[in-house]
Amino acid sequence: MGDFLSDSSGLGYAGGALLVTGLLAVLVALMKVPVVPNVLLFWIAFVLTRPLGATAGDFLTKPVAKGGLDLGTAGSSAVLLALLLGLMAYAQVRERRAG
């Protein structure tokens, strides 16, 4: 699905990643709807993580001429590590404010 979104659909790497991210955001919103079982939402989100990883990974690593950022594996790993550390710091700050 990730390859289809990136290559065949015409969305490109960033567009495919944004589409899957949007679908995941819809699932988060559906968590507030009591008639939609959370187990169903979990499994749909679980399945969507695969194409999200594929399209986002391709966006970070593919050459600019093909629609990517051309960061390579080390550069994309650094971006993902920075994102992870930023989210962890945000969670820590939020927890300290609540407590």
Q: Is the pLDDT of residue 99 over 80?
A: no
Can you say whether the dihedral through the CA atoms of 2, 13, 86, 26 is positive or negative? negative
pTM reported for the whole predicted model:
0.79
Can you say whether the dihedral through the CA atoms of 51, 57, 61, 66 is positive or negative? positive
Q: Which band of pLDDT confidence, cut at 50, 70 and 90, is reported for residue 5?
A: confident
CA dist 8 and 22 (Å) reads 19
Q: What is the pLDDT of residues 37-94, one digit of tens each?
A: 999 999 999 999 999 999 999 999 999 998 999 999 999 999 999 999 999 999 999 9
Q: What share of the chain is helix, strand, coil (3-state, %, to 5)?
A: 80, 0, 20
